[in-house]
């Protein structure tokens, strides 16, 4: 990619990359790399998720606060042990009346007093808030209470920040190799990592929403992280489509090659979101979002995501420009079913009260439903 205002030109970046590579060689002879990513005991396709068990039923009267019941929340489990997910999101909703709850200690709440309430906090504190939640309705009937539980969008385990994507149920983290390494070496290292039972791979970004969310993990200084994209030098892409059929020259055939744990449906697939051939602006000579700057081609086959105080976007790194960080993704499942607990609350109208004058001057009271 050509130089962007405020950033070092490619020649300077290449020199810096060569120096970093030399340092890697020297350090590699004298010390063992330290992996900062937590490992799970087994690597599978689908990661674990927190679970929820809710009350079966409850009952009460109209216009009164009815306690819904007792919930049990549990951490995700992989390889026989907990994953240590420190922050979760629960959504409790009713189809009759409104829900009232208190914010979890140290957490947040939204929607209390409405039909849908969202709680975010630790497992224990969210469970406490759910156990005290009530439903109130001015009309009699049966309220169906639906409560879902998933990891929070962002949480931290130890010193590592994680992000959760609820659309596919994948986890992300910024992998720290401690020293700069090549894209291919980083891909191998990330594939040896696991989180909550799922093997890691270099991140595959398939939408603008996903690209926006990962910025929360790449937000310190000028850290740059490798993604799982690569440029083909062949006359056709990995799927066998000739360059002419996609309207770009062979140097613009970018595809995902994220590692052995990546979803089979996305591995070796051409970029859909972020395809340089589709975002090129012939007037300005620049590529559109998510790319930054001029054309990503030439001797720059690796795709990287980078962040500064003012600009976030994709860049291409020439061979030899090594990086310390990679964006790791965990889980090759293509869909996610949010754990759900369903219960019912029967809401009745209070009995009617009538009074009758008796012959002895006393008053009788009768109750009827």
In a domain, 161, yes or no: no
Query: For residue 19, how many C-alpha atoms fall within 13 Å in the half-sphere facing its CB?
Result: 6
Residues 207 and 86 in one domain: no
**298 C-beta neighbours (distance < 10 Å), count:** 13
CA dist., res. 175 & res. 178, Å (int): 9
CATH assignment at residue 15:
3.10.100.10
Bigger pLDDT: 327 or 231?
327
Give the pLDDT band (50/70/90) at residue 52: very high
Number of domains in the chain: 2
CATH assignment at residue 345:
2.60.40
Residues 297 and 174 in one domain: yes
Q: What's the pLDDT score for residue 321?
A: 83
Is the pLDDT assigned to residue 12 strictly greater than 50? no
Residue 75 dihedral angles phi and psi, to the nearest 5°: -65, 155
Residues 138 and 99 in one domain: yes
The pTM for the full model equals: 0.79
Residues 204 and 296 in one domain: yes
234-274 confidence digits (pLDDT tens): 555 565 655 555 555 555 677 899 999 999 888 888 888 88
CA dist., res. 16 & res. 25, Å (int): 15
Residues 305 and 323 in one domain: yes
Q: Which two tokens stand for residue 277?
A: 């051939």
Using DSSP bridges, classify how beta strands 323-330 and 224-231 pair: parallel, antiparallel or unpaired.
parallel
Bigger pLDDT: 223 or 201?
201
In a domain, 41, yes or no: no
Residues 292 and 176 in one domain: yes
**28 C-beta neighbours (distance < 10 Å), count:** 12
Residue 19: domain span: 10-32+170-330
Residues 178 and 275 in one domain: yes
Residues 88 and 211 in one domain: no
For 85-96, what is the HEC assignment?
A: CCCEEEEEEECC
Handedness of CA 243, 248, 249, 250 (dihedral sign): negative
Give the pLDDT band (50/70/90) at residue 79: confident
CA dist., res. 237 & res. 311, Å (int): 30
Give the pLDDT band (50/70/90) at residue 218: confident
Residues 133 and 184 in one domain: no
Is the pLDDT assigned to residue 286 strictly greater than 70? no
pLDDT (mean) for 328-336 = 90
Is the pLDDT assigned to residue 81 strictly greater than 90? no
Is the pLDDT assigned to residue 7 strictly greater than 60? no
Q: What's the pLDDT score for residue 44?
A: 55
Residues 139 and 177 in one domain: no
Q: Among residues of the chain, what percentage have pLDDT more than 90?
A: 49
Q: What's the pLDDT score for residue 106?
A: 97
In a domain, 365, yes or no: no
In a domain, 5, yes or no: no
Is the pLDDT assigned to residue 297 strictly greater than 70? no
CB 217 within 8 A of CB 327: yes
Mean pLDDT taken over the chain: 79
In a domain, 42, yes or no: no
In a domain, 266, yes or no: yes
Residues 209 and 62 in one domain: no
Query: For residue 306, how many C-alpha atoms fall within 13 Å in the half-sphere facing its CB?
Result: 18
In a domain, 43, yes or no: no
Give the pLDDT band (50/70/90) at residue 16: very low
Q: Which two tokens stand for residue 284?
A: 């300005």
CB 110 within 8 A of CB 93: no
Which H or E element spans position 37? Answer: none
Q: What's the pLDDT score for residue 31?
A: 30
In a domain, 313, yes or no: yes
Residues 302 and 277 in one domain: yes
**7 C-beta neighbours (distance < 10 Å), count:** 17
Q: What's the pLDDT score for residue 133?
A: 98
């Amino acid at each position: 990619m050509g130089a962007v205002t405020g950033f070092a030109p490619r020649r300077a970046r290449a020199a810096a990359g060569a120096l970093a590579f030399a340092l890697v060689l020297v350090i590699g002879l004298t010390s063992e790399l330290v992996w900062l990513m937590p490992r799970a005991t087994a690597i599978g396709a689908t990661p674990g998720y927190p679970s929820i068990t809710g009350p079966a039923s409850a009952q009460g009267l109209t216009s009164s606060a009815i306690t819904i019941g007792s919930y049990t929340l549990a951490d995700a489990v992989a390889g026989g042990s907990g994953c240590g997910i420190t922050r979760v999101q629960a959504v409790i909703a009713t189809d009759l009346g409104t829900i009232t709850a208190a914010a979890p200690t140290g957490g947040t709440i939204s929607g209390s007093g409405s039909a849908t309430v969202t709680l975010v906090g630790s497992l224990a504190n969210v469970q406490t808030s759910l156990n005290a939640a009530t439903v109130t309705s001015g009309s009699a009937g049966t309220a169906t209470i639906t409560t879902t539980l998933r990891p929070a969008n962002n949480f931290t385990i130890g010193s590592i920040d994680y992000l959760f994507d609820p659309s596919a149920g994948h986890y992300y983290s910024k992998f720290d190799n401690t020293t700069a390494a090549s894209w291919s070496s980083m891909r191998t290292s990330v594939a040896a990592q696991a989180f909550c039972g799922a093997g890691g791979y270099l991140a595959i970004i398939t939408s603008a929403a996903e690209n926006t969310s990962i910025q929360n993990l790449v937000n310190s200084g000028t850290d740059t992280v490798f993604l799982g994209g690569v440029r083909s030098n062949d006359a056709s892409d990995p799927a066998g489509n000739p360059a002419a059929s996609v309207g770009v020259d062979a140097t613009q055939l970018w595809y995902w090659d994220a590692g052995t744990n990546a979803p089979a449906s996305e591995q070796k697939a051409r970029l859909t979101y972020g395809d340089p051939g589709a975002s090129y602006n012939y007037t300005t000579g620049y590529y559109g979002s998510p790319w930054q700057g001029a054309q990503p081609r030439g001797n720059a086959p690796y795709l990287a995501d980078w962040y500064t105080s003012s600009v976030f976007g994709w860049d291409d790194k020439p061979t030899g420009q090594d990086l310390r960080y990679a964006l790791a993704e965990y889980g090759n499942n293509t869909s996610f079913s949010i754990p759900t607990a369903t219960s019912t609350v029967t809401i009745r109208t209070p009995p009617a009260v009538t009074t009758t004058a008796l012959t002895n001057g006393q008053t009788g009271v009768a109750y009827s439903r």
